[in-house]
Structure 1
């Protein structure tokens, strides 16, 4: 259950199922990962109560740290509190997301993506 929640937590970014950037994300820095065809992207995201993420993937790995926690609702209706200071990772091409911020305050997180250069940062999961 902890892994499912962690995967959901890092997905506060995408509001539609199409490949696009997140309306919640503010990019802080982007640069090449030395000796590879990958890049590092550092961002801050703030998601307000009532805003919803959708299921999405990244073409690389994502690490996240909650600067401000809050309450989220998973697709099954279960509400889960997220602590300030919660940290986790999502691995390449594993779908995550699809939850809503339902508490009375926004959640704010720092993310670091190490992803394939030239591919979208957020993408739809492949069909099953």
Structure 2
């Protein structure tokens, strides 16, 4: 059995935008502020982080909120500590970086492409963060 998400780029952006805005979208509350905080805060204990279903040391820089990964340590040019989102198995990825007030969405369909250790992701994150001009 497997899971997945079917959506449009516009709906993905609406979801990410609502989370980044603390649970509001176009001025309307769609999620409570405490719900957003719980969703986007690392919920794992150190004992849970010692066991990874992904790859060794995955949880050295990532935690897990309710339904998404949460960046706990910055290791290179890329999402800031506190950023949250998810890189899907087929390469569709989204992250919110509250420190930069930024949403990034990358959409493709290619098996195993969501692995953030792939060189394409290093290039993607480098381009995204180098584009910040302040």
Q: TM-score range by the shorter chain?
A: under 0.3
Determine which structure has the larger helix proportion and give its number. 2
TM-score by length of 1: 0.24
Determine which structure has the larger strand proportion and give its number. 1
TM-score by length of 2: 0.23
| Structure whose CA Rg is larger | 2
